[in-house]
Amino acid sequence: MDRCEPYRRLQQSTQAKKLRPQKTETDGIGLEQLSSAIFLNPNVLTSGMRFAIVLTVVFACGSIAAQNPATTRSDVPKLEGLNAAQQRAVEEYVRQNERPTGELRWIADRRMAVFSSEALRALFPRFRFVAVRWITEADPAAFHKYSIPGPILETLVLDADGKNCMPHHTGYREEFGDLVHAERVKITDATSAAVVRSALTAIYAGGSADDLRTSDLRHENSNWLLGYHEWPFRPISSYEEVREVSYYLISVDTNGFVVSGRLVTKVLERRKLNGDEPNH
């Protein structure tokens, strides 16, 4: 899926009724909760989200244009900490993906920033990380036809040549697993697991924002459950509620090198809202 997928989704036929995020009972907790649990950032819904899940967060009313001064167009600012190739990469990324005209407009917030953290510097010293927040603006009439998503955060992972080393994003954050695999990152104990979790949080939150409610668990010899968190019961219908767990599953080889990673949500219990016994 490319970065402009949500824009194309929102540009569907005007005959369509108001779009609503699709979610089944087995989809697990809302992605805004997952963001709080594993990639905590109170200000944004991270790239995660990404654009594959852009429609999971809906503004029911109000003006998207009022979210941000991105309605006043300007050039991409020069970002401190980037070399010339990396700066050009950011400018090209915005140029290719921004849609500034039409009934629905996909705008890059010019308040983008280069960021880092201790974990990112330890694991990825050769990269620069740039947080870009995308805003969907809409004409008033569009609010009657579409559900307009809130701000979406995208992090560019740029090498010295300006190549984005984490370009393809999925709703399950598998791209982060690909990145740590490509960089030959190892997880051998709780300390190294915490560093990887902190890097994961920083990339998707646009800065360091560890959640102290979570923990990292080793599962057998080949898996780590990063950011493990069990959620309280929440209703999923008018008659049933569920209790769930979320974590980032990292698979490692016999030497501890990361093989892959993905976001996981599982239902632990179900129960009727009238107080019946839970079903496991």
For 41-63, how does the pLDDT look when each residue is reduced to its tens digit (9 = 90+)? 333 333 333 333 333 333 323 33
The answer to whether residues 263 and 38 touch, using CB atoms and an 8 Å cutoff, is yes
Q: Is 13 helix (H, G, I), strand (E, B) or coil?
A: coil
The answer to whether residues 111 and 145 touch, using CB atoms and an 8 Å cutoff, is no
The C-alpha atoms of residue 148 and residue 10 are separated, in whole angstroms, by: 8
pLDDT of residue 211: 65
The C-alpha atoms of residue 28 and residue 245 are separated, in whole angstroms, by: 8
The C-alpha atoms of residue 9 and residue 55 are separated, in whole angstroms, by: 9
pLDDT of residue 210: 61
Rounded CA Rg of the chain = 20
Low-confidence ranges of the chain (pLDDT < 70): 1-74, 208-213, 275-280
pLDDT of residue 207: 81
Domain locations along the chain? 5-272
pLDDT of residue 146: 86
Rounded to the nearest integer, the mean pLDDT of the chain is 79
Token pair for 180: 């740590």
For 8-23, how does the pLDDT look when each residue is reduced to its tens digit (9 = 90+)? 444 443 333 333 333 3
DSSP 170-197: -TT-HHHHHHHHHTT-B--SHHHHHHHH
The C-alpha atoms of residue 66 and residue 275 are separated, in whole angstroms, by: 43
> Which helix (H) or strand (E) is 123 found in, with range?
helix 118-123
The answer to whether residues 141 and 63 touch, using CB atoms and an 8 Å cutoff, is no
The C-alpha atoms of residue 213 and residue 210 are separated, in whole angstroms, by: 9
Token pair for 103: 């009934």
The answer to whether residues 157 and 166 touch, using CB atoms and an 8 Å cutoff, is yes
